[in-house]
Chains A and B, each alone.
Chain A
Amino acid sequence: MKRKIRIYRKLFSSTFYLSAFTFGGGFVIIPLMKKKFVDDLRWLDEDEMLNITALAQSSPGAVAVNASILLGYRIAGISGALITVLGTILPPLLTISVISLFYTAFRDNIVVNAVLKGMQAGVAAVIVDVVIKLSGNIVKENSTASILVMIGAFVATFFFKINVIYIILACGCIGASKALIQAKKASKGGDIK
């Protein structure tokens, strides 16, 4: 029981802290989550983090909230999911409640804008760092199919602005059919022996 409470507390404080720093769109939380839950706490591995990202992206709602739910569920079931949702929505709820009282002053403040501009550059660096690491790992897998899927998905979303849902569905189907064909081949190979 004590152990459980410790895990709950850690889940809440981690997601609260990560959410408080998720500036500029849902994907920013992914590198932060990876650092915290994969590298520091070692509660899950990098592949699983990417699976969670894919599921979060293809479900309705905000990516950050969805990723938190999946992560909480993975670590501590439904109660874990409830705790991580709470941890993720409280920081924006509190920040906006306070800012809405004086939002024009906040919006027009030059120092606030300068700090945010600097932070934007920092966020961009954080994501480039993660993209380098993640794409490096995909290339290291040495699977031509994975590399082709990565390039294809990038071209589809960046140049052709194809809806993310279709890209995810297509790549999921490619992966599934490849695995099924391989499984079939393997079982046939077994028959000959």
Chain B
Amino acid sequence: MIILKLFWSFFQIGMFSIGGGMAAIPLIQNQVVDLHNWLTLAEFTDLITIAEMTPGPIAINSATFVGIKIAGVPGAVVATLGCVLPSCLIVSLLAWVYFKYKEMTAIKGALSGLRPAVVALIASAEISIFAMAIWGEGGFSANPESINYISLVIFAVALFILQKWKPNPVFVMIASGVAGGAIYLLI
């Protein structure tokens, strides 16, 4: 029974979180902490911290984390599947419609209007990621002391390398992580 409950809870989270990770957090909290008491609020805060530290969408990380805690590995698998099932159904349908009608004038026009908007959305998300990397949790602050200069240098070097040699971005990310760890251990 608990497996079914897990599935249904995360199905709802997957169904109603539109617009990326941050939008999903209150939904997850509502299901996991308020409705089912699967996690305490402190555990939930830990979960968000760990989700930020590990790869993958927050909703999927939460599903795995809660599932494994409540019902072991089967729980993790079921909760994760519940979380992606709405996407699979809705997006597949959308994909079918899109690839079938993408040559229609109205659809083509709509998509050409969306492309610059998407670039703007990525730019806006980038500013928060940048602020998080350079100033930490609190985001932008005018106080020069709150700047993490190590991060700033890593950022600048990484951007220079990306612009100049166009390497695989994954290598740049790994190298930045190694540099961060090494500088910390040396200082």
- Count of chain A to chain B residue pairs whose CB atoms are closer than 8 Å in the complex: 371
Interface of A is mostly: helix
Q: Restricting to A51-78, which residues have a CB under 8 Å from any CB of B?
A: 51, 53-66, 69-70, 73-74, 78
Q: B21–A25 contact, CB under 8 A?
A: yes
User: Which single member of A57, A100, A135 contacts B69 (CB below 8 Å)?
Assistant: A100
Tell me how far the C-beta of B174 lies from the nearest C-beta in chain A, rounded to whole angstroms: 8
CA distance A191 to B1 in the complex (A): 68
Chain B: CB-nearest residue to A147: B116
Q: B177–A54 contact, CB under 8 A?
A: no
**Interface bits A12-41 vs B (CB < 8 Å: 1, else 0):** 000001111111111110111001000000
Q: Restricting to B77-94, which residues have a CB under 8 Å from any CB of A?
A: 77, 80, 83-84, 86-88, 90-92, 94
Q: Is B138 an interface residue (CB 8 A)?
A: no
Q: How many residues of A contact B (CB 8 A)?
A: 107
- Contacts of B20 on A, CB cut-off 8 Å? 25-27, 57, 62-63, 164
Q: A153–B76 contact, CB under 8 A?
A: no
Q: How many residues of B contact A (CB 8 A)?
A: 101
**Interface bits B1-38 vs A (CB < 8 Å: 1, else 0):** 00000000000001111111110100000000000000
With A25-B125, A60-B87, A153-B116: A125-B56 Cβ-Cβ less than 8 Å: no
- Contacts of B168 on A, CB cut-off 8 Å? 35
- 6 further contact pairs, Cβ within 8 A, besides A134-B119, A164-B121, A174-B113: A57-B121, A65-B84, A96-B51, A118-B183, A129-B162, A131-B126
Residues of B within 8 A of A (CB): 14-22, 24, 46, 49-61, 64-65, 68-69, 73, 76-77, 80, 83-84, 86-88, 90-92, 94-96, 98-99, 102, 105-127, 129-130, 132-134, 148, 150-152, 154-156, 158-159, 162-163, 168-170, 172-181, 183-185
Residues of A within 8 A of B (CB): 17-28, 30-32, 35, 47, 50-51, 53-66, 69-70, 73-74, 78, 81-82, 85, 89, 91-93, 95-97, 99-100, 103-104, 106-107, 110-132, 134-135, 138, 145-147, 149-154, 157-158, 163-165, 167-168, 171-180, 183
